[in-house]
Chain A
Amino acid sequence: METSMNETQQQAKETVFRAPDRGDLQATATVDREVRRTVGEARVADPRIRCNDINVYYGTAQAIKNVNLDVGHNEVLAMIGPSGCGKSTFLRCLNRMNDTIDGCRVTGDILLDERNINAKEIDVVPLRAQVGMVFQKPNPFPKSIWENVAFGPRIHGLARTRAQLDEVVESSLRRAGLWDEVKDRLDKPGTGLSGGQQQRLCIARTIAVQPEVILMDEPCSALDPISTAKIEELIDELRQQFSICIVTHSMQQAARVSQRTAYFHLGDLIEVGATEQIFTNPQHKLTEDYITGRFG
């Protein structure tokens, strides 16, 4: 399977993982571990989504502290960090999925198309069609494959007749790389597919409503390496049309698929920058510790 990667990503792939405590490692990070302000360029020119001063509270405990971050057009932003650092929480803010959690409070502005989508008066239903989400554990509806993909376009009125829906289903499944495998069993239940196929079905379901941003919460963590490779290929293709934010535990995956990477640590955004810079030349000592495997 040929993967089309550019030069810099190829480079990053080869130099991403450095074993801890190698004698010849030059410690290049300069910012001290106690410093908690964001290092690097959190802002981009002409962002797709701009987040200002995001704070998330679960009851009284604060999970995200004063995060400012931009997501650019047609780019993949990877969010990495140790478990419990708030990456998934931050991701869920971007399509207001935190609303479904009792006791969760999100403050700050999230600007999408110049509108603050964190405001109470925003209707989250079209927002979630605009900002789609793929979850960690594949969760296809217990209905047929066709119904899984057609549900979204139908309820939003993007396709009405059976012919239109068929077209949408086929194009979404093709883009997700699943069409050839399921085209003659579209009426079979979606839950009867393998893990990797289910996740691609969920991706097809998400892109069927034609979102502008896709959020992916550790999409490959429950999958085998071959399915993972297929999905990473898919992410690279989707990048040409959408903006993608991907939360991942695997630094190699972040290096493979993303252009920008953000490192979270215990609720703080520690460092943001171009992927190859983060992985070869991090500025913050905490980032360097995480990258080199000293913890995490």
Chain B
Amino acid sequence: MSNQILPLPRPVEVINTGLGRRRAAERRFRLYGVAAITLALIFLVLLFISIIGKGYTAFWQTQVQMEATLAPELLDIADPADRNQVMAANYGAVMKAALRQAFPEVTGRAEQRQLFALVSSGAEDILRQRLLDDPSLLGQTVSVWVPAGGDIDMVRKGHIDRSLPESERRVSDQELAWMDALVQQGRIEQRFNWQFLSTGDSRSPEQAGIWGAVMGSFLTLAVTMLLSFPLGVAAAVYLEEFAPKNRWTDFIEVNINNLAAVPSIVFGLLGLAVFINIFGLPRSAPLVGGLVLTLMTLPTIIIAGRAALKSVPPSIREAALGVGASPLQTVTNHVLPLAMPGILTGMIIGMARALGETAPLLMIGMVAFIVDVPKGVFDPATALPVQIYLWADSPELGFAERTSAAIMVLLVFLLSMNALAVILRRRFERRW
């Protein structure tokens, strides 16, 4: 009974038998990781394809070449050097005359209305600018490239299906015939749509631009950054380095963490109640938007700042204190530079979130239809995500492609901010 027939296995042999299962588990885990990343990348690619696919056409604009006679009796201008007269003149009449001249066979009011829709109302601005630049053109015939009307633009880009029967189409056969005639004469072209990138919003999609929203977002973010960075860093430094460790500071820390999780629309309500109603700041201004977004970004910066400060090794502080530096000198000269990469990352994360926030801005009124490009922080403005929301809501076909184009602009903004973050991190990184 005490005879051992089989010897006890050596520990090494026991380990070896279990190895197969362990290796299989590791392979599975690696597979899960690769699968997760692949899935994420697939969705990212799908996102880009769908957005860029729908939006890239917005960067091109169909333009029509017209011969416009700047007849003084149509324009009602006596003196071409008088700026006021030139500004107030009726360029619409000139364009209509030009169109009638191009298609003299068109009669009847209904048909003529359709004819005039071939060209966008933006043509009037082009003519006005020409006359302002060169008053001697009055009475002469000029050849101008003007943006085509919205429907023609959509047909040229293929968003309106020509093969459908006429009753199901927005454009009539007659309009298509005129368009084909212009194409044959070589008077229709697709050109890069600079107007999209340089003007503000408009009711007609072919004249709508993103620049107003870009400037609004830029001004709002500038205000946010100028306010939240110093305040956030100072708060983080105080809480981490100088504040005594007692119940109050624990309470403050808990509250800051909670604020970081508050839904952003609550900050919008706060902005409406305090900044607009109590302080009386102008509605829809980037200043108010910036203040609201500052409140939203501060907790993120404070939390990232504290983590970055905590990660600086205490030996640096001891060395500085040992030489006789005061606590503030220790922080500003030694601790803060070492913590900068982490703080900057926190700031860029906060800014990226602020750039994409719509809800708080809706509450303070940056949702209005603003046509002018804002020049200062007190001018009414709108922001990129709000603009996307407004355009997504609009029925015109032209706005559908512009929504996707605006999303592309927003993504470019975000990618540049992240690239900036990476560059700044590299610059400030030190090894110790």
Contacts and interface: CB of A to CB of B under 8 A. Distances in A.
B245 A102 contact: yes
A135 B315 contact: yes
A140 interface: yes
A59 B320 CA distance: 26
Nearest to A95: B322
A151 B317 contact: no
Contact of A97 (B321, B329, B430): B321
B325 interface: yes
A129 interface: yes
Contact of A141 (B245, B319, B324, B431): B319
A133 B322 contact: yes
Contacts, number: 64
A128 B323 CA distance: 6
Contacts of B329: 155
Interface string B301-333: 000000000000001111111111110010001
Contacts of A191: 431-432
Contact of B324 (A135, A156, A202): A156
Given A102-B245, A155-B329, A191-B432, A142 B316 contact: yes
Interface residues of B, number: 20
A155 B324 contact: yes
A95 B334 CA distance: 21
B292 interface: no
Contacts of B355: none
**Most A CB within 10 A of own CB, among B316, B322, B334, B432:** B322
B324 A209 contact: yes
Interface residues of A, number: 26
A127 B316 CA distance: 19
Contact of B318 (A100, A142, A155): A100
Interface in B236-251: 245
Contacts of B315: 135, 137, 139
**Most A CB within 10 A of own CB, among B319, B323, B326:** B323
A135 B322 contact: yes
Contacts of A142: 316, 338, 430-432
B338 A128 contact: no
Contacts of B325: 125, 151-152, 155
Interface string A115-148: 0000000000111110011010101111000000
A125 B334 contact: no
Task: State the main secondary structure of chain B at its contact with A.
Answer: helix
A137 B318 CA distance: 11
Nearest to A102: B245
Interface in A142-169: 142, 151-152, 155-156
Contact of B323 (A100, A102, A132, A137): A132
Contacts of B322: 95, 97, 128, 132-133, 135, 206
A205 interface: yes
Contacts of A133: 322
Nearest to A215: B322
B201 to A, nearest CB: 50
Interface in B173-205: none
Nearest to B323: A152
Given A100-B318, A141-B316, A142-B431, A205 B323 contact: yes
A151 B321 CA distance: 12
B317 A100 contact: yes
A95 B321 CA distance: 10
Nearest to B430: A142
A96 B100 CA distance: 94
Contacts of B431: 142, 191
A92 to B, nearest CB: 10
A156 to B, nearest CB: 6
Given A142-B430, A151-B333, A155-B329, A129 B323 contact: yes
A126 B325 CA distance: 9
B319 A139 contact: yes
Interface of A: 95, 97, 100, 102, 125-129, 132-133, 135, 137, 139-142, 151-152, 155-156, 191, 202, 205-206, 209
Given A125-B326, A128-B322, A156-B324, 17 more contacts: A97-B321, A100-B318, A102-B245, A125-B325, A129-B323, A133-B322, A135-B315, A135-B319, A140-B319, A141-B316, A141-B334, A142-B338, A152-B323, A155-B323, A191-B431, A205-B319, A209-B323
